[in-house]
Amino acid sequence: MAPSDLRTHKYDVVVIGAGGAGLRAAIEASAQKAKVALVCKSLLGKAHTVMAEGGAAAALGNVMGEDTWRVHFRDTMRGGKMHNNWRMAQIHAQEAPDRINELEAWGALFDRTPDGRINQPMDASISGRSAGTPTAAWPTSATAPASR
């Protein structure tokens, strides 16, 4: 490549990876008026997040009414044999339902119960006291959240 073929770009934030976390980081940085570059190794929409069949853990209370962030936090800590960073586990448990609702508002599709709520099948890692994970039925193009 000749030096004349090189271009310099300036960004406030460079996000490496276009999975769920990378897209979310890019969206938030953009919402804060940062100039954002998003770098991914394959086609946008083909990240592992799109292929994840396990869904995302969140205490939505759609299967079991007693499913709360406290139950989710307890299960997370027990699942990690109490080695988790408790504060990060707490923040995750408290904020996960809002993030699932946010993903849905941006166009992510989730499997539904017969009465229309996001489905939460039980997961092998769940103790039985909290509901399972919302399962995603992702659109064929994961660019829906990024085009917000």
Higher pLDDT, 2 or 28: 28
Residue 47: per-residue pLDDT? 65
CB atoms within 10 A of CB 69: 20
Q: Which of 22, 52, 25, 54 is nearest to 39 (CA)?
A: 22
Gap between the Cα atoms of 125 and 57, Å rounded: 10
The CA-based angle 112-114-115, given to 5 degrees, is 90
What's the rounded mean pLDDT across residues 51-60? 70
The model's pLDDT over 14-44, given as tens digits with 9 standing for 90+, comes to 999 888 788 889 999 999 999 999 998 877 6
Hey, where are the domains in the chain? 1-48, 52-148
Least confident of 66-70, 126-130, 139-143: 139-143
Chain center to CA of 4:
40
Tell me the β-bridge partners of 118.
Answer: 112
Residue 26: per-residue pLDDT? 93
Give residue 81's identity as a one-letter amino acid code: K
The model's pLDDT over 99-138, given as tens digits with 9 standing for 90+, comes to 888 888 887 777 888 898 888 776 655 555 444 455 554 4
* Confidence band, pLDDT 50/70/90 cuts, at residue 142: very low
